[in-house]
Structure 1
Amino acid sequence: MAHDGRRRTVAGRTLVALTALWAGYSLLNFALGGRWWLWLLADLVPPLCFLAVPLVLLALARLPAARPVRRRLVPVLALLLITGLTRSGVNWDALRPGEGAGPTPAGAVRVVSWNTEYWDTTDDPDRFYRYLKAKDADVYLLQEYLAWVDERPTPIDELARIRREFPGYHIAVLGEQVTLSRFPVVARPAVGPARGTGGGSPWREVFERGKVLRTDIDVHGRVISFYNVHIPVQLDILRSPLTGGFYDEVHRRAAARERQYAALLRDVDANPRPVFVAGDFNTTPAMGDLDGLRDTLRDALPASGTLLPGTWNTEGLGLWRLDWAFTDDQLRVHRYDFDDPAGLSDHQAQDLVVSPAP
């Protein structure tokens, strides 16, 4: 009996400690996410943990050994579960089919947004272009139009082939972003830090500063602003976390991310046109960095039937949604799919059909 009592005491204390640790992390995530640069490292936790951890702890609380602490822990774990529902990345709208924007009207626009993972430089180029062309999109928002050489981003020039593969498309390039459109591009307003760059700027400077490519596109007589976004990743995996340089780089990138997010939000707020924003945000559903955009625009996710969209890493478990698409209330989203990149990238492609609201 004494042995059973000690076992229950140890089990109860362990469960209390685990609950306290997760509650502390969850609370700090609310308080520090998107506000403190160092929290970017803590934000690497897969968002699904906000659902999975409380559920596992609730299951453990049902064991006989946890009976002495069960009454106190269950309400806490239930609260953690409820508060984690919106941060888990689960698409709850997928459980309610038929809640979309209705039938697709004539003249709707198909948009594909995709982080290509160094364009075709690590793949069979012919296969890469076949994959892109098979999407038959009206507008392509593509990221990582570059090569990776000696652990550094390096410019490439494939405009001649792009024109051959996509005859009749209008092409806009900013650093490592490429936008292709079947419809005329009537304007390319610079956004945020990119305003300081011009035709004579070094590619590396444009690459660092130009992370939002805005193209105003005339779609059947109505101009829609398409924002092609690639927010900088938060850390350099080639640096050791045991060195000060690792944290200096995280701090620098956090500042760059904040500048890009703020500039994008200001531009969207001031833009009277219909707005479509998509790309690789290097930001998960649990991170506070997206709060401004989510408060201003609408996530296209309700139009998707995918219950757990994990757009990265397709070469692993795919537990992180880093790629997003947003619209304002002047556009309707009829379809939103996440497509397998067929080994050409570590990101899924976002495939959407949108139309102007009446």
Structure 2
Amino acid sequence: MSTLSDRLAPGRRDAVRRGGKRRGRLVAAAATAWLVFVVLHLLLSGRFWLWLVPDLVPPLVYLAVPLLLVAALPLTRGRARLWCAGATAVAFALGAGQSGLDPAALRAGGEPPPPGSIRLVSWNTEYWDQDDDPERFYGLLKARNADVYVLQEYLNWVDGTPRRVDEQARLRREFPGYHIAVQGELVTLSRFPIVSTVPVGPARSLGPRPPWDSAFALGKVLRTDLRIGPSIVSLYNVHIPTQYMLDENPFASRFYTALRGRAAARQAQFRGLEEDLAGNHRPVVVAGDFNSTGAMGEMRGLFDRLSSADRAGDSLMPTSWPADGPALWRLDWIFTASLAVHDYRLLDPRGMSDHRMQETRLSVKGGGGA
């Protein structure tokens, strides 16, 4: 059977063959480049500050790019096709775990919550109620009827500068009977008694009553120890600094100076959190906005030590930012140790934040350390 190129005039036939070879080389180059990118990501993410820029790609690309390369395989021939198929398969095997895909969602989720289980909500409020109707804002929070609220960005943002807010009087009115802990932009509300607060990481350098600006800059992890029945559970409210501001110019040298500084600040918060967890043998919950996807190397220590609550969820690809969609990034997380997780959901913030709200139900396994 003759092919199309066999039926063409000789000159045209040669042009078609050259075009096919060029397309095949392009696919081979793309497969090679993608494999190199995935290998570099595994080696450099969380270890080299400049990789924070490639870390910004949506994790979904670790699935999407291999699928596109497979679709392009018919454009290659012979050894080039074998190379493309092999490179794509290796890249997929190495990168699939970085994609954010949660196969556990195919199972039935966690065990049904027992009586007395704890409802916990974690949410980056996006500058509290600065641009929202306060009644709607507080109504959204109260509608969750959570036992514990872990909230970030308890502040306003004016002319590019963070500004303190003080709504503790209103919080006490809106949430009567709750215990309140505040550090900089972090606020934790709990129906359970807060028996202690422990400085974590860079916040250890803060005095007992630090200026708000200092607490905002250094206090990105708020640990509160809660008495829940006979147990004490350590709750970590986390807001890791962002690595990139959307209005910054990556072609200016100051962009890289700022990037390196933010990388150092992020690493200090992650190290402080991991060091505190290493010395804490109580049941723990670590919740908040990590400004980090599951593909980023800075999260490895938490994944190695703790369990992600989304294993009890029902979403194959849970994403939390931007909330008004399409949400391509998972920046908000809840991790636990020595606690049973019964369900996990990401909720619509009704236009009051660019982050989706996390909600889970937990219970203490046996007795926690006192």
Q: Residues 298-342 of structure 1, C-alpha deviation per residue, up to 9 Å, x if partnerless?
A: 1112101011111001133110000111111x1110011111111
User: 1:236–1:249: 8 Å Cα contact kept in structure 2?
Assistant: no
Partner of 1:42: 54
Partner of 1:86: 97
Of 292, 295, 299 in structure 2, the residue corresponding to residue 286 of structure 1 is 295
Mapped partners of 2:85, 2:15: distance in 1: 25
Partner of 2:5: none
Shift of 1:294: 0.8
- Within the alignment, does 1:168 sit opposite 2:177 as a pair? yes
Shift of 1:6: 1.0
Of 331, 335, 343 in structure 1, the residue corresponding to residue 351 of structure 2 is 343
Paired AA for residue 360 in structure 2: L
Q: Which has the larger radius of gyration?
A: 2
Partner of 2:17: 5
Q: Residues 56-114 of structure 1, C-alpha deviation per residue, up to 9 Å, x if partnerless?
A: 111111x2x3234212211221121122211000111112x22x342211111010000
Percent identity for Structure 1 against Structure 2: 49
- Within the alignment, does 1:331 sit opposite 2:339 as a pair? yes
Mapped partners of 1:13, 1:348: distance in 2: 43
User: 1:236–1:246: 8 Å Cα contact kept in structure 2?
Assistant: no
Shift of 1:243: 1.8
Q: Residues 123-180 of structure 1, C-alpha deviation per residue, up to 9 Å, x if partnerless?
A: 1111000000001100000000000101111111111111111111000000000000
TM-score by length of 1: 0.96
Shift of 1:257: 0.5
- Within the alignment, does 1:276 sit opposite 2:280 as a pair? no
Paired AA for residue 352 in structure 1: T
User: 1:239–1:245: 8 Å Cα contact kept in structure 2?
Assistant: no
Structure 1 unaligned blocks of 5 or more: none
SS of residue paired to 2:322: coil
Mapped partners of 1:101, 1:238: distance in 2: 41
TM-score by length of 2: 0.93
- Within the alignment, does 1:59 sit opposite 2:68 as a pair? no
Structure 2 unaligned blocks of 5 or more: 1-12
- Within the alignment, does 1:155 sit opposite 2:169 as a pair? no
SS of residue paired to 2:136: helix
SS of residue paired to 1:167: coil
Mapped partners of 1:204, 1:248: distance in 2: 22
Partner of 2:317: 308
- Within the alignment, does 1:179 sit opposite 2:188 as a pair? yes
Mapped partners of 1:87, 1:189: distance in 2: 33
Mapped partners of 2:350, 2:135: distance in 1: 13
Paired AA for residue 49 in structure 1: V
Shift of 1:241: 1.8
Mapped partners of 1:248, 1:150: distance in 2: 22
Correspondences of 1:78-157 after superposition (within 5 Å): 78-95=89-106, 97-98=107-108, 100-157=109-166
Mapped partners of 2:210, 2:276: distance in 1: 22
Mapped partners of 1:338, 1:354: distance in 2: 15
Q: How many residues align?
A: 353
Mapped partners of 1:102, 1:315: distance in 2: 31
Mapped partners of 1:264, 1:20: distance in 2: 38
Mapped partners of 1:106, 1:315: distance in 2: 35
SS of residue paired to 2:56: coil
Paired AA for residue 333 in structure 1: V
More deviation, 242-251/284-293 = 242-251
Paired AA for residue 60 in structure 2: L
Q: Residues 228-248 of structure 1, C-alpha deviation per residue, up to 9 Å, x if partnerless?
A: 000000023333222222111
